C-alpha cells in the first residue's frame, strides 16, 4: 500500500479525533466535536477520560449501535454512560497486545513528564493499530516518554499543541527518534495550540520522514 493510499484512509478532525478506514472496519479514536453523524464506526477507541477525548455527546454520532468501544480499564464505570449506544465495551491496560473482534491493537502508556494533567498512574493509553500490513501509532495525550521512544510504527499521529502534551518541537524530536514513514500532527488549533504549530512541527522533523497535516477542522 503506497503512501497516498494510506493517507486517504486516515482522517483527522478536532483535537485527537481521528478515523482510520481499514479492511477490518472503520476505527474512530477519541471522537470529539463531530460536525456530522456518520454512525458507521465498527470500533471506537478512547485514550483517556478528559472531555475532549471521551465525549458522550459525540460517541452516538459515530456509533452504529453495535460498535465496539475500547477504553482504559480505569474508565470502566465512566464508559457506562454510553453503554446504551454501543454494542460492547472492552477495557485495556497499558502495555498490552490484544485482538478485539478482528482488530489487533497494542496499548502504549500515555502520560506527562513534569506536568500534572495526565499522570502515569492513571494508566491511560495510546494505541498502535495493526491494520492492512501497517502499524499506525496514535499517541494520545502524552509527552516524549521512554515508552513512546521505543515505538515501532509506519505512521505516527502525535500531539503537538503543548501545555497538556508535547509541543511541536518536542513532538518532532520524538518522531525523529521513532522514525515512522509518515508523521501526522494532531491535538492543535482547537482547544490548545495554533495552526502555526503544524509548520513548526514539520520544520523540526528530519527530511527522510514525510509530514502530512491532514486536520479537517
Q: Please report the pLDDT score of residue 33 as a whole number.
A: 94
Q: Is the pLDDT score of 2 beyond 70?
A: no
Q: Work out the percent of the chain whose per-residue pLDDT is above 70.
A: 98
Q: What is the mean pLDDT of the chain?
A: 94
Q: Please report the pLDDT score of residue 187 as a whole number.
A: 92
pLDDT confidence of 1, banded at 50, 70, 90?
A: low
Q: Please report the pLDDT score of residue 66 as a whole number.
A: 97
Interval 109-124 mean pLDDT: 95
Q: Is the pLDDT score of 4 beyond 90?
A: no
DSSP collapsed to 3 states, the chain:
CCHHHHHHCEEECCCCCEEEEECCEEEEECCCCCCCCCCCEEEEECCCCCCCCCCCCCHHHHEEEEEEEEEEHHHCCHHHHHHHHCCEEEEECCCCEEEECCEEEEEEECCCCCCCCCCHHHCCEEEEEEECCEEEEECCCCCCCHHHHCCCCCEEEEECECCCCCEHHHHHHHHHHHCCCEEEEECCCCCCCCCHHHHHHHHHCCCCCEECCCECC
pLDDT confidence of 105, banded at 50, 70, 90?
A: very high
Q: Please report the pLDDT score of residue 6 as a whole number.
A: 80
Domain 3-207 is of which CATH architecture? Answer: 4-Layer Sandwich (3.60)
Interval 159-184 mean pLDDT: 95
Q: Is the pLDDT score of 92 beyond 70?
A: yes
Q: Please report the pLDDT score of residue 10 as a whole number.
A: 97
pLDDT confidence of 192, banded at 50, 70, 90?
A: confident
pLDDT confidence of 5, banded at 50, 70, 90?
A: confident
Residue 80, C-beta contacts closer than 8 angstroms, at least 6 positions apart: 89
Q: Is the pLDDT score of 190 beyond 90?
A: no
Domain range list for the chain: 3-207
Per-residue model confidence as pLDDT tens digits over 130-167? 999 999 999 999 999 999 999 999 999 999 998 889 99
Amino acid at each position: 500500500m503506497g503512501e497516498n493510499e494510506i493517507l486517504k484512509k486516515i482522517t483527522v478532525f478536532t483535537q485527537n479525533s481521528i478515523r482510520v478506514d481499514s479492511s477490518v472496519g472503520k476505527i474512530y479514536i477519541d471522537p470529539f466535536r463531530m460536525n456530522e453523524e456518520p454512525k458507521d464506526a465498527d470500533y471506537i477507541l478512547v485514550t483517556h477520560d478528559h472531555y475532549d477525548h471521551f465525549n458522550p455527546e459525540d460517541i452516538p454520532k459515530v456509533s452504529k449501535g453495535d460498535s465496539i468501544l475500547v477504553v482504559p480499564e480505569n474508565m470502566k464505570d465512566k464508559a457506562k454512560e454510553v453503554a446504551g449506544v454501543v454494542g460492547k465495551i472492552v477495557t485495556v491496560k497499558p502495555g498490552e497486545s490484544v485482538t478485539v473482534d478482528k482488530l489487533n491493537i497494542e496499548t502504549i502508556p500515555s502520560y506527562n513528564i513534569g506536568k500534572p494533567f495526565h499522570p502515569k498512574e492513571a494508566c491511560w493509553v495510546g494505541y498502535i493499530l495493526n491494520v492492512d500490513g501497517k502499524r499506525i501509532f496514535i499517541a494520545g495525550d502524552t509527552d516524549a516518554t521512554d515508552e513512546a521512544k521505543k515505538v515501532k510504527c509506519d505512521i505516527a499521529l502525535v500531539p503537538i499543541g503543548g501545555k497538556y502534551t508535547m509541543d511541536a518541537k518536542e513532538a518532532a524530536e520524538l518522531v525523529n527518534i521513532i522514525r515512522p514513514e509518515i508523521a501526522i500532527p494532531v491535538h492543535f488549533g482547537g482547544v490548545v495550540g495554533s495552526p502555526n504549530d503544524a509548520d513548526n512541527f514539520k520544520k523540526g522533523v528530519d527530511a527522510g520522514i514525510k509530514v502530512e497535516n491532514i486536520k479537517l477542522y
